[in-house]
Each structure stands twice: as C-alpha cells, then as structure tokens.
Amino acid sequence: MLNFDYENRTRIIFGKGKQAMVGELIKPYGNKILFHYGGESIKKSGLYDEVRSALEAAGVSYVELGGVKPNPRLSLVREGIRICREEGIDFILAVGGGSVIDSAKAIALGVLYDGDIWDYFLTKKPAGKVLDLATILTLPATGSESSDSVVISQEETQLKMGYHSDKIRPVFSIMNPELYFTLPKNQIANGVCDMMSHILERYFTTTVKADVTDGLCESTLKAIMKNALILNRNHKDYDAWAEVAFAGTIAHNGLLGLGRAQDWACHKMEHELSAIYDVAHGAGLAVLTPSWMRYVYKTNINMFVQFAVNVMGVEGTYRDPDAIVNEGIDRLERFFITIGLPITLRELGMDDSNLELMAKKATWYSDGKETPVGGFQKLSWKDILEIYKMAQ
C-alpha cells in the first residue's frame, strides 16, 4: 500500500424526502446563495418548487442560475462567477447531476480568485479561498456530490480539463433515490458506466499489494452491476436506486483508491471524445474501456484474471489466463449492451476522421513531445490511436 493522506468533509444525507431539509441545512453557511441548475427537468419534476419553498421557509435568499448543459461550459461558469460577485453570494447550491455540480464547483473556485478561473485548470495550482457549496443530486453518475474533482469544457478550444482540490468537496449532499425514478434509460446506463469506470480507473494498478481496496472495488462493482440490471427492468425500484446511488458516491469519494497507484487513461481518452463530439461521458467510457482492457492486460495479466474471476464471475479454473481475461472483458461488454450502452465509436456517430487528432490531444502531442497517459500502462498517442481503432 502506498502512503496516503485522506480527508472528506462531505456530509451525505440519504433517503426519501430529504430535499425538504435543504433550507435549514444551508442556514448556518449562507445568507444569500446561488441556486444553480440545468434545464427544465427539475421544474417538471416539482423539485425546483420544493427547493424554492425550502429556501424561503428557512429565510435563505437566493439568486437563480439555470442553463447548465452536459459537459458544463466555461462560459456559464464565468457568468456564475460574475453574478456571485455582483450579488454578494456566499454559498452555492447545485441541484442536478454531475454537470451542474461541476459547474457550481468551478464557480465556487473562481468567485474569490483575482485571476481567470481557467488558470486553475491549466496550471493545477492550489486552490485559494473557495465558496462553500452543497448539492441535491438528481442523477447518480459522476460522484461529484462528494468528490474533490471538477471537469469543465472550453467551447472554443474544445478543451475539456479537470481540477482537484479538497476545498471543492460539497459541505453536504442530499441524495433521495425517489428523485431518480424519472431518469431516462440512457442516462441511467451512462451513469452506471461512469461510476464503474471511476472504480476501474482506481482498481487497475501497479501497486503490488492492496487487498482492502481491491475488495472494496470488486464488491462495489458487483453491487452496481447487480442493481443496474434490476433498474433495467424496473427504473422505479427504490432499493436498487439506493444501492446504485450510494455506490456512485463511494466510487468517486476517494476511498477506493487510497494507497493505490491509479490509471485514468480511459477517462482521459473519453474526454477527447466528448470535447469534440459532445457525447455522453458514460457512453464514451463504455466504448473505450473494453478496448483499453484488451490492449493493456498483458502488462499485468494476474490483475485482469483477478478482475475476471472476482468481479465478472469467470470460473478461475481454466488453464489459460488469456482465456479467463478475455471472457471477463467480454462479459463486461455484454453487461454494457444489456443495459443499453454503445460499445463502438460508430454507435456514437463517430467516423475515423478525428482519431489521430484526439490521440494527440490526449497526450498533448506537439513537435514529437508528448505526455503519456495512464498509470497502469503508459500510453503514447500511437497506443491511444490503436485503442480508438479497436473501439471503432
């Protein structure tokens, strides 16, 4: 196990009807808040009105900023920062999925910063003073409700960049499985794939010994798959949603990667897809992950045998480890298909015209120089191009 230093302040308030507490929960933190959200879905569902009532009942005044889109945009973040400064906002409430929460995190990071918010994403410099934020999660997927990370897209340059800081973990997040009953099937599937990927990126490691987190990763992956199949038949199963939503938080709150070298190649490769094609992050991951696995598994075949046996339930008594691994990857791919995910770039509507560009962008390739991607196996742009081609 590697050394680690872990702290996660996010309070998780989990269960039916808990969104009604939001006003009282915010009171100790904020006098005037930014109520940040996406499109019309929270208005249709009634959540928008519930939140407004709760804030008003608690005497918390607020300014609204809706309009967050998937792959949240830098332009709206800048607008949010401007509003917060003009209105003297001291706290942000994000009501939505990962995009809304990430947009809120970036605004929280920028309000009290003298320079331009994009600096943080380009330089990865330590966060200064940050506004506190909280969330009501409406789409379990990204784990942003208790993670230290934020991903923002710059529209003009088609750059999608991440940033990490413990300071942008929400102070609390409210999770009510009933809020997820109305999600469309493709969003459920994308979310499931995103959270599985958060675990797989941590699981495949060069760290030789990490039994506890190996087991936490494996058992959480199995619980997600089991309950995703239940949701695939009945998207209003409270218990299945509770398991999937809770797993989504655990998948990305940092715990499952403690003391482990991590990978993150699939996320980097996928960010290039969604930056150019604006595809759903989870769908992109479903396409790339099996190909990545087939490309890299010989680097540490034992780790992939363990995955195939412990997670995908392949019988571990075969003679041939390659056969075990390939059966495990095939089963993962079949699981993705079952819940309605794409497994090829073509299904995402992509041809091969940008593969080399994306592979080079992923590694910052320029004048023969590049930054290899991935902790499990270092990938050059040529490796990534191969993986993109395998995923076509």
Residues lying near a second copy in the complex (CB under 8 A) are found at 1-16, 18, 172, 208-212, 214-216, 218-220, 222-223, 226-227, 239, 242-243, 246-247, 250, 255, 258-259
CB of 9 to a second copy, least distance (A): 6
CB of 215 to a second copy, least distance (A): 3
CB of 21 to a second copy, least distance (A): 9
Cβ atoms 263, 375 nearer than 8 A: yes
4, with CB counted inside 10 A (0-12, 13-18, 19+), is exposed
Nearer to a second copy, 151 or 231 (CB): 231
Nearer to a second copy, 232 or 380 (CB): 232
**Distance, CA of 368 to CA of 176 (rounded, Å):** 50
CB of 238 to a second copy, least distance (A): 9
Nearer to a second copy, 166 or 386 (CB): 166
Nearer to a second copy, 126 or 349 (CB): 126
The phi, psi pair for 159, rounded to 5°, reads: -100, 135
**Distance, CA of 77 to CA of 88 (rounded, Å):** 16
Nearer to a second copy, 259 or 340 (CB): 259
Q: How many CB atoms lie within 10 A of CB 27?
A: 14
CB of 86 to a second copy, least distance (A): 33
Nearer to a second copy, 234 or 392 (CB): 234
The torsion defined by the Cα of 51, 54, 57 and 63, in degrees rounded to 10, comes to -30
**Distance, CA of 372 to CA of 213 (rounded, Å):** 26
Cβ atoms 180, 241 nearer than 8 A: yes
CB of 297 to a second copy, least distance (A): 22
CA atoms within 13 A on the CB side of 133: 37
Cβ atoms 331, 350 nearer than 8 A: no
Sign of the Cα torsion 75, 81, 84, 86 reads: negative
Nearer to a second copy, 255 or 266 (CB): 255
CB of 255 to a second copy, least distance (A): 8
DSSP 3-state of 151 = strand
Nearer to a second copy, 217 or 287 (CB): 217
The b-or-e profile of 35-47 (16+ CB within 10 A means b, else e) is: bbbbeebbeeeeb
CB of 137 to a second copy, least distance (A): 14
Q: How far is CA 217 from CA 48, 196, 260, in A?
A: 35, 9, 12
**Distance linking the first and last C-alpha atoms of the chain:** 37
190 alpha carbon, distance to own chain's centre: 10
CB of 232 to a second copy, least distance (A): 15
The phi, psi pair for 36, rounded to 5°, reads: -110, 135
Nearer to a second copy, 122 or 212 (CB): 212
Nearer to a second copy, 241 or 264 (CB): 241
CB of 139 to a second copy, least distance (A): 18
DSSP 3-state of 99 = helix
Sign of the Cα torsion 263, 267, 270, 272 reads: negative
